[in-house]
Chains A and B, each alone.
Chain A
Amino acid sequence: MSYAGKVLRVNLTTGDNRVEKLNEKWAHDYFGGKGLGIKYLYEELAPGVDPLSPDNKMILMTGPFTGTTVPVSGKLGIITKSPATGTVLDCSIGGHFAGELKFAGYDAVILEGKATNPSYLYIEDGLVEMRSAADLWGRGAQDTEVALRAKLSPEIKVLAIGPAGENLVTMSCITSELYRQAARGGVGAVMGSKNLKAVAVRGSGSISVPDISNFVATVKEIMRTDTLTDTNLWAFTDGTPMLMDLSQNTGILPTRNFQEGTFTAFENLNSDSLKKVRAGKKGCLSCALGCGNYSKTGRAAVEGPEYETLAIGGSNCGIEDLEGIIKFNDLCDNLGIDTISAGNVTAFAMELTEKGVKDFGLRFGDTAGYLQVPELIARRAGIGADLALGVKKLAQQYGGGEFAMHVKGLEFPGYEPRGSWGMGLAYATSDRGACHLRAWPVAEEAYGERDPFTIDGKAQLVMDMQHYNAVKFSLILCDFWALSLETMAQMLSAALGRSINEEDLRQAGERVVNLARQFNVREGFGKGEDILPERIFKETLKTGATAGKLLPREEFDNMLKEYYALRGWDENGRPSAQTLSKLGIV
């Protein structure tokens, strides 16, 4: 089997660590990444734990493909309870950390407790040490990584937080290889709450599979015929900025805090404009696609900006100037802030200001004001003390809840649900709040052939997509490879030396979704939280392909009801005993 077979458990309070055997039963049912991480967390975390207390845990999880030649399998799962939403939270981060951790001999690291002083965790094969981060505390996430590489080894792989994570900002992220993030839900704040500035890992061990000749031959053929194809190579040629034109043309490009679905200056922010500042391409470990676009302008450099940043930090803030967005992205990266949530809270504050609800001194399109925001949020200084609350809590404090664009406290990604009704259901029912990575029906609705303005078939579509992504992220395959469950099963069978079929994987996806739901139910979540902001139900869009459109509340309610029924959940959105039993979740 392609697992390392070991889990490293580190008690940050005492500095002690121990190596445990990987729970084989759980690995059998949940594979790795998202699923296995949530399983460990569900079993180990008591309900009601404060996410920023020492009682919360953070799990770094690899998967059965990590460190092998399976293409696009280089990411790491990070699983914890979210301080932004109070839900379960799984993020993934690209780069080369995950492989290094597995080469060091671990499938996972479970981080518990809270270090007495600012610390970083050093792992070099069997050597595991808590070390002082006194000289790193207060420094940027990127600066921290550069300092650790200089001090330890250029080969070291690092996860680090910036000042935002230290200051427990619930939109803070974790960074690796300077420009890759586990971005959402405040994972960085969980690290910060544990006084953990960074994790540095170096591994020299090997990963085995049952029949490596067969495995390599199988996977090589799949890479050539299924990964390196026109379906996926957009990630290499363009990357996510290619979505800018699609969103503009279909009227789902969030603009000025989701007041509109098109942006006149979209061409400044699209893939063609990005290509003019491209300075290189970079992929994660084993990634044949290499989506990373290294972009450089006079003042700033980033990997990206990705579409989410261009949309939410660009058009949604009314920012027309690409260099300004790159600068915003660069600031957020080093400060350790999620650009999606930061862009949303900035846009929300702009609308609150313009509507006279509360004056934050921010205006749509004012690049200078917008570029002040990341630093203020990270330091909780000036207006940043308020903006660091995130959209949900900011609305609770000052009003504007009807246009506070979040679900369960997680801010919206860059797709307008009034122009893809299934996306509304996807946001409402995602396990971590408004997220585009749990299901992305936009691909078939606004961007595809299905009618975006109907609920017909959307509950089924969202459910199927959630199952697919849940198992894909449990195997830790990147979102950008559109492979079939059959291909996943073929590779997994070769990696584990047992026969796994498409239906096994579909059911594993369903199991993961239900376990995540059960985690949230245990925390008190139900139908009342599976809801969208009033703006989506009451305000029509005014321009482009979505002019005159909204998502009627009654349609949404019907879609949600149908979704619960299809899932075997009760009318309050709780998985029935029968559903849980069928999936082997007890």
Chain B
Amino acid sequence: MVLKLNEELCIGCRLCQLACSAAKEGVFNPELARLKIVSVYDESGLNINSSVCTLCLACVSACPAGAIAYENERLSFRESACTDCGLCLGACPEGIIKARPHGVALCDLCGGTPECVEWCPHNALTNGEVG
């Protein structure tokens, strides 16, 4: 299971980010979301810019403390093991691991039922199983 975005279906409403921050941080704030999908007009027309966890596991490899692991087909994070070294932040090619006062915030697929997918109004974002 991995998040998949079908750009053809995305309208750039950012409900995914609002839902993610609500579920994970208890507030509405796209900056705190563990994914980022925006639609913008630029010189070439209407484009989707997206950053979602692809489960590339670069963060797992980068973590020297064993705080980030891949288990049950998703990422997990153990705050007690984290040394706040910040290596995972730089290692994430999508740039969506967020630093917190202690530890980091990463996409754990909400334990199997991602809120972002739940909220996507046009099934642009799927968990890879139905898409």
A294 and B121 contacting across the interface, CB-CB below 8 Å: no
Closest to A289 in B: B121
| Residue contacts A-B, CB under 8 angstroms, 14 given | A69-B19, A74-B13, A103-B30, A154-B40, A206-B27, A207-B27, A208-B26, A212-B27, A215-B22, A216-B22, A223-B119, A283-B13, A285-B14, A294-B41
B14 and A286 contacting across the interface, CB-CB below 8 Å: yes
B41 and A103 contacting across the interface, CB-CB below 8 Å: no
B13 and A284 contacting across the interface, CB-CB below 8 Å: yes
Q: Which of A272-325 contact B (CB under 8 A)?
A: 279-290, 292, 294, 296, 301
Q: Which of A87-102 contact B (CB under 8 A)?
A: 96, 99
A206 and B11 contacting across the interface, CB-CB below 8 Å: no
- Minimum C-beta distance from A425 to chain B (A): 36
Closest to B27 in A: A206
Interface check B126, CB cutoff 8 A: no
Interface check A179, CB cutoff 8 A: yes
Contact of A177 among B18, B41, B118, B119 (CB under 8 A): B41
A290 and B11 contacting across the interface, CB-CB below 8 Å: yes
Determine the distance from Cα of A212 to Cα of B22 in the docked complex, in whole angstroms.
Answer: 7
Contact of A286 among B13, B23, B27, B40 (CB under 8 A): B13
Report if A280-B46 is in contact (Cβ < 8 Å); known contacts: A69-B22, A288-B15.
Answer: yes
B15 and A71 contacting across the interface, CB-CB below 8 Å: yes
Say whether chain B's binding surface is mostly helix, strand, loop, or mixed.
mixed
Which A residues are in CB contact (< 8 Å) with B22?
A: 69, 212, 215-216
Q: Mark B1-44, 1 if CB is under 8 A from A, else 0.
A: 00000000001111100110111011111111000000111000
Determine the distance from Cα of A204 to Cα of B13 in the docked complex, in whole angstroms.
Answer: 17
Interface check A414, CB cutoff 8 A: no
12 other A-B residue contacts (CB within 8 Å) besides A71-B121, A206-B21, A290-B122: A154-B40, A178-B41, A204-B29, A212-B26, A212-B27, A215-B22, A216-B23, A227-B121, A282-B12, A286-B14, A287-B13, A290-B13
Report if A285-B13 is in contact (Cβ < 8 Å); known contacts: A206-B25, A220-B118.
Answer: yes
Determine the distance from Cα of A208 to Cα of B19 in the docked complex, in whole angstroms.
Answer: 13
- Minimum C-beta distance from B110 to chain A (A): 12
Interface check B101, CB cutoff 8 A: no
- Minimum C-beta distance from A495 to chain B (A): 11
Interface check B128, CB cutoff 8 A: no
User: For chain A, which range describes its interface: under 10, 10 to 19, 20 to 34, or 35 or more residues?
Assistant: 35 or more
Which B residues are in CB contact (< 8 Å) with A96?
A: 14
Closest to B28 in A: A207
Determine the distance from Cα of A179 to Cα of B45 in the docked complex, in whole angstroms.
Answer: 12
Interface check A205, CB cutoff 8 A: yes
- Minimum C-beta distance from B9 to chain A (A): 8
- Minimum C-beta distance from A279 to chain B (A): 6
Which B residues are in CB contact (< 8 Å) with A280?
A: 39, 45-46
Interface check A545, CB cutoff 8 A: no
Which A residues are in CB contact (< 8 Å) with B122?
A: 236, 288, 290
**A interface residues, Cβ below 8 angstroms from B:** 67-69, 71, 74, 96, 99, 103, 154, 177-179, 204-209, 212, 215-216, 220, 223, 227-228, 236, 279-290, 292, 294, 296, 301
Which A residues are in CB contact (< 8 Å) with B26?
A: 208, 212
B29 and A103 contacting across the interface, CB-CB below 8 Å: yes
Which B residues are in CB contact (< 8 Å) with A204?
A: 29, 31
Determine the distance from Cα of A96 to Cα of B14 in the docked complex, in whole angstroms.
Answer: 10
Determine the distance from Cα of A227 to Cα of B22 in the docked complex, in whole angstroms.
Answer: 20
Which A residues are in CB contact (< 8 Å) with B12?
A: 282-283
Report if A69-B119 is in contact (Cβ < 8 Å); known contacts: A216-B19, A216-B23, A282-B11.
Answer: yes
Contact of A279 among B19, B25, B46 (CB under 8 A): B46
A206 and B14 contacting across the interface, CB-CB below 8 Å: no
Closest to B30 in A: A103
Which B residues are in CB contact (< 8 Å) with A69?
A: 15, 18-19, 22, 28, 119
Determine the distance from Cα of A96 to Cα of B23 in the docked complex, in whole angstroms.
Answer: 21
Which A residues are in CB contact (< 8 Å) with B32?
A: 206
Q: Mark B103-131, 1 if CB is under 8 A from A, else 0.
A: 00000000000000011011000000000
B11 and A103 contacting across the interface, CB-CB below 8 Å: no
Closest to B121 in A: A288
8 shortest interchain CB distances as A-B pairs: A290-B11, A288-B121, A206-B27, A280-B46, A283-B11, A206-B29, A283-B13, A207-B28
Determine the distance from Cα of A521 to Cα of B46 in the docked complex, in whole angstroms.
Answer: 45
B18 and A286 contacting across the interface, CB-CB below 8 Å: yes
Closest to A67 in B: B28
A208 and B27 contacting across the interface, CB-CB below 8 Å: yes
Contact of B28 among A68, A223, A236 (CB under 8 A): A68
Determine the distance from Cα of A489 to Cα of B32 in the docked complex, in whole angstroms.
Answer: 29
- Minimum C-beta distance from B35 to chain A (A): 15
- Minimum C-beta distance from A229 to chain B (A): 11
Determine the distance from Cα of A212 to Cα of B27 in the docked complex, in whole angstroms.
Answer: 7
Which B residues are in CB contact (< 8 Å) with A215?
A: 22
Determine the distance from Cα of A179 to Cα of B27 in the docked complex, in whole angstroms.
Answer: 30
Which B residues are in CB contact (< 8 Å) with A292?
A: 11
